[in-house]
Structure 1
Amino acid sequence: MRPSRRAPDELRAVSLERGVVKYAEGSCMVKFGDTHVLVTATLEERLPPWLKGQGRGWVTAEYGMLPRATLERTRREAASGKQGGRTVEIQRLIGRSLRAVFDLKKLGERTIQLDCDVLQADGGTRTASITGAYVA
């Protein structure tokens, strides 16, 4: 039996709520059991310099956990001045996953910036972030 008392073949409760942030072009509150992730999507009229003039867009992501998203408080990575390897890996995974499902030519020369903020972490933050980013 898992600590959550779920059976081995039992899924976590899943909920996706769109439009939860007023000013973002897209947003989603994802809940996979006790894992909660807020994702916002911003459409920007800019591209990385190396993509300019190629007639296609870009999708990128930022990922972070609130200090009290886990059982014990962790320092914000911004306080140390650099991101950890885990954070960089997850950001790249989210960006690559979303670029694989977008037709970047239809996006035009624009960037979709996805911000994935883990409010509460109880496993599955990567998959929750990717799912929320797709919905946002």
Structure 2
Amino acid sequence: MSLPIREGRDLLTPRPLFVERSVNPHAQGSAHLKMGRTEILATVSLEDRFAPHMRGKKEGWLTAEYAMLPRATSDRQPRERNLQNGRRHEIQRLMGRALRSCVDLRHFRGQTVYVDCDVLVADGGTRVASILAGYAALHDFSDRLILSGRLAEWPLTQAVGAISVGLVGTELRVDLDYAEDKVARADLNVVATETGQLIEVQGGAEGAPISVGEYMQLVELGVSAVQSLMTDFQRQL
């Protein structure tokens, strides 16, 4: 089997990453992110209502929603109107856990922070790109709250990023595009902080199992790649 060829990058280099903040004039925070050919639009909304399970708590809540537009892929996909879509729910839960880890929700008692991510163009890595776009939109949201005087203290507690890593043949690769993801023996989505602390790992082997050593290599590679990625990413914010 011939392995997918990377365009202008080595096996351990992520795709070019570009982010622009404040792209939606109506949202309280927003960002447009490009990661290679994958594009995400993220918005943040703050509403004066809260989840029932947060009653009596001293903090607010953050929830995330994810959707893929009909022509985000090479074939038109129907709009995801089915609320029971398993893949979408899995991605939303991952995004929510990742983004809640970086927000001090005590600033939003009795309120809910909504992070909405829409995939404009998909070429692999849409869930990790959505986490990055969501973090960028939260950064924009936080700036606006501070500048408007609605908050006196910065609500983000740490910088959070994510990256995909995989085994393609015998090769360890960082930030898989769609062609690589299709043939990977294993692929993981690694969520971590800029200081190298692990938040979550999602994924596993495709078909035949991999060794514990290979799995740990992928995790360590992912954490290191997130740290490297966040250096440039933070500069763009």
TM-score, reference length from structure 2: 0.54
Q: How does 1:52-131 map to 2 (within 5 A)?
A: 52-78=55-81, 81-131=82-132
SS at match of 1:105: helix
Deviation at 1:105, TM superposition (A): 1.4
Give the Cα separation in 1 of the matches to 2:130 and 2:84: 17
Deviation at 1:24, TM superposition (A): 0.2
The 1:4–1:71 alpha-carbon spacing in structure 2 relative to 1, beyond 3 Å, is farther
The 1:14–1:40 alpha-carbon spacing in structure 2 relative to 1, beyond 3 Å, is same
SS at match of 1:12: coil
Say if 2:60 is the partner of 1:40.
no
Q: Which structure 1 segments of 5+ residues have no match?
A: none
Deviation at 1:52, TM superposition (A): 2.1
- Does structure 2 retain, via aligned residues, the 8 Å contact 1:29–1:39? yes
AA paired with 1:27? S
User: Which structure is higher in helix share?
Assistant: 2
SS at match of 1:75: coil
SS at match of 2:42: strand
Deviation at 1:107, TM superposition (A): 2.3
Give the Cα separation in 1 of the matches to 2:53 and 2:12: 46
TM-score, reference length from structure 1: 0.92
Deviation at 1:23, TM superposition (A): 0.4
Decide which of 28, 33, 57 is 1:30's aligned counterpart: 33
Name the % identity.
48
Which structure: larger Rg? Answer: 2
AA paired with 1:40? T
Q: Which structure 2 segments of 5+ residues have no match?
A: 138-237
Deviation at 1:49, TM superposition (A): 1.6
Give the Cα separation in 1 of the matches to 2:14 and 2:136: 20
SS at match of 1:72: coil
Higher RCO (CA-CA < 8 Å; seq separation 6+): 1
Deviation at 1:7, TM superposition (A): 2.8
How many positions carry a matched residue from both structures? 134
Deviation at 1:59, TM superposition (A): 0.5
SS at match of 1:94: helix
Deviation at 1:101, TM superposition (A): 1.4
AA paired with 1:121? A
SS at match of 1:68: coil
AA paired with 1:108? R
Deviation at 1:61, TM superposition (A): 0.7
- Does structure 2 retain, via aligned residues, the 8 Å contact 1:34–1:121? yes
AA paired with 1:96? R
